[in-house]
Amino acid sequence: MFEISHRTEVVKCPNPSCPRNIQLSIGKVPGGVNDSGGWILQCDNCGTKFPYKVKNPDDYSSVKSGAKILDSWDNDVPESKIMTLKKHDLDSFPEDFSFDNLLFVQTGEYEKPTFSDIEENIFFCPGCKTHLEPILYAQLSDKLPSINKSINSYLNYYLKGRAGNPDSIIVVVDYQCSCGFNTKGVLYKDFIERELPIEEEHQLILIDVIGADLEFTIDGVYDRDDCLSILQKLLIRWQVYYNKVFLAVPFIGFDFKNSEAQRVELWNWILKNTIPHKTTLLTRKATLTSFLEGSANTGMDINVLKDYGLLNPTVDELTDKKALFKRDFHAKFYAGFDRKNAEVLVGSFNIHEGTYVENIHFKSYDFGDFFKKYILKMNIIFDPRIIDEEGEFLLISEHEDRKEFIAKVENYTTSRREKIYELINPK
Ligand SMILES: [Zn+2]
Ligand SMILES: [Zn+2]
């Protein structure tokens, strides 16, 4: 299958008194055949109609927000443009109208989470305590063909519109350790039709091993780079399993002038590994300010992105709401939770790279205990808004004969974690 690259274009509504940003996603086939044409757009805010030239108006390009597509034309079809403009009374729209307020952002493909089974293992065999991530992936590679077989038979129903609308794929595999211990691994992938079948086992991300004692394995002294790998694995697990992620981190990168690029990179690391609507970041105002300065000096001006409505909502929330700044704090903890359970990584680690060592450990709590011990003690205004999440995932589980996988759509109404545990350990 050919790759399509996308870029974001933000165009301000041509009505000078309307503040609306209209966000478009323009898809192109690099080096391939791209249709030229355009759309008749209508601003969601003021109703102004205007023509806008785009590549691939009828297939790969779309409007993400701010306007409706009323019509489209194709430059290869004679009269198509003129007829379309006439139909919408836009034939007098100036041919040379230039959208002065236009921003292009090259986004490329969405960055997928990656899981390294080489760096800093967090999942160990509950029986013999040896690390199991590389072994589990090696076993998974043999199982991939039969996992894909179950996905393909599911897709037959899905494509006919008869089989739900899963947001994700959860694969539950049996794991047999050389020590004789048997357990299950839980792996995750976004459900994106064009990425199926799964080409490579690392596209499935290990988020859990049933019975693995994370409190035992994530505990001790680590260098900062290893702390980052551990936190990354937990952030991926939390965004799948839980509904909220809370990061209390006084310092992100160093404040030195010559470490600006690295500081911006660390912020981007956080944003890349979290889902904005689930994430709250608590930091010092000075930490945000040095990020804003650093990003302007390294070519990504936050104020421009904010002006075009493109700022990552996690940062946007920080720039708008003062409630999430705290001046005098030195506590550092990273947590994922739903209305029942919370998991916390806590210790001396701020978000920094390098070989300095830090102490960190992992703890599990009932949500209520976590809230009392951590959030309330921070003395901040934070509404946890434990809104249950709803959705469907495609559960692919290994049949007992260990040769076959079965795919089934499951509904979750509180959190994915609760549902997955209910399915793995039926009462
Ligand atoms: Zn408008
Ligand atoms: Zn073992």
227 φ/ψ angles, rounded to the nearest 5 degrees: -60, -40
Q: Which of 91, 106, 121 is the last residue of a domain?
A: 106
Q: What is the pLDDT of residue 343?
A: 97
196 φ/ψ angles, rounded to the nearest 5 degrees: -115, 145
Q: Which of 51, 80, 106 is the last residue of a domain?
A: 106
Distance 21 CA to ligand 1 centre (A): 8
Cβ pair 370, 342 in contact under 8 A? yes
Do 360 and 232 share a domain, yes or no?
A: yes
**Residue 356, C-beta contacts closer than 8 angstroms, at least 6 positions apart:** 223, 224
Do 69 and 173 share a domain, yes or no?
A: no
Do 221 and 334 share a domain, yes or no?
A: yes
Domain count, the chain: 2
Please indicate, yes or no, if residue 231 is contained in any of the structural domains: yes
Q: Name the strands in the sheet holding 205-209, side by side, starting at the edge strand that comes first in the sequence.
A: 205-209, 182-190, 168-176, 391-398, 405-412
Range of the domain at 193: 111-250+329-427
Distance 184 CA to ligand 2 centre (A): 12
Q: What is the pLDDT of residue 393?
A: 97
Please indicate, yes or no, if residue 147 is contained in any of the structural domains: yes
Q: Pairing mode, if any, of strands 341-347 and 357-366?
A: antiparallel
Q: What is the distance between the alpha carbons of residues 168 and 395, in angstroms, rounded to a whole number?
A: 9
Distance 8 CA to ligand 1 centre (A): 19
Q: What is the pLDDT of residue 384?
A: 66
Closest CA to 383 of 311, 309, 321, 332: 321
Distance 40 CA to ligand 1 centre (A): 13
**Residue 175, C-beta contacts closer than 8 angstroms, at least 6 positions apart:** 132, 136, 139, 182, 183, 184, 185, 209
Q: What is the pLDDT of residue 108?
A: 44
Tokens of 387: 């809104």
Do 101 and 119 share a domain, yes or no?
A: no
Please indicate, yes or no, if residue 296 is contained in any of the structural domains: no
Please indicate, yes or no, if residue 213 is contained in any of the structural domains: yes
Do 120 and 99 share a domain, yes or no?
A: no
Residue with tokens 């003021």: 46
Please indicate, yes or no, if residue 385 is contained in any of the structural domains: yes
Please indicate, yes or no, if residue 302 is contained in any of the structural domains: no
Please indicate, yes or no, if residue 160 is contained in any of the structural domains: yes
Q: Determine how many CB atoms are found less than 10 A away from the CB of residue 134.
A: 12
Do 99 and 47 share a domain, yes or no?
A: yes
Residue type, 310: L
Q: What is the pLDDT of residue 377?
A: 83
pLDDT along the chain (427 residues), means of 10: 74 88 87 91 95 92 92 93 95 82 58 79 92 93 95 91 90 93 94 90 95 95 95 94 91 79 84 83 85 76 69 71 68 93 96 93 95 85 74 92 86 94 83
Do 64 and 173 share a domain, yes or no?
A: no
Cβ pair 87, 70 in contact under 8 A? no
Q: What is the distance between the alpha carbons of residues 417 and 407, in angstroms, rounded to a whole number?
A: 18
Q: What is the pLDDT of residue 264?
A: 83
Q: What is the pLDDT of residue 29?
A: 86
Tokens of 319: 């720039």
Q: What is the pLDDT of residue 20?
A: 86
Q: How many Å separate Cα 225 from the centre of its chain? A: 22
User: Which residues are within 5 Å of ligand 2 (an ion), measured at CB?
Assistant: 125, 127-128, 177, 179, 181
Distance 77 CA to ligand 1 centre (A): 29
Do 117 and 158 share a domain, yes or no?
A: yes
**For 374, what's the count of Cα atoms within 13 Å in the CB-facing half-sphere?**
28
Please report which ligand is nearest the Cα atom of 177. Answer: 2
Distance 102 CA to ligand 1 centre (A): 14
Distance 305 CA to ligand 1 centre (A): 19
Please report which ligand is nearest the Cα atom of 183. Answer: 2
Do 126 and 205 share a domain, yes or no?
A: yes
Do 150 and 74 share a domain, yes or no?
A: no
Q: What is the pLDDT of residue 136?
A: 94
Do 60 and 121 share a domain, yes or no?
A: no
Please indicate, yes or no, if residue 66 is contained in any of the structural domains: yes
Between the alpha carbon of residue 318 and those of residues 250, 322, 413, the distances in Å are 13, 7, 29
Q: Which of 57, 88, 106 is the last residue of a domain?
A: 106
Do 124 and 96 share a domain, yes or no?
A: no
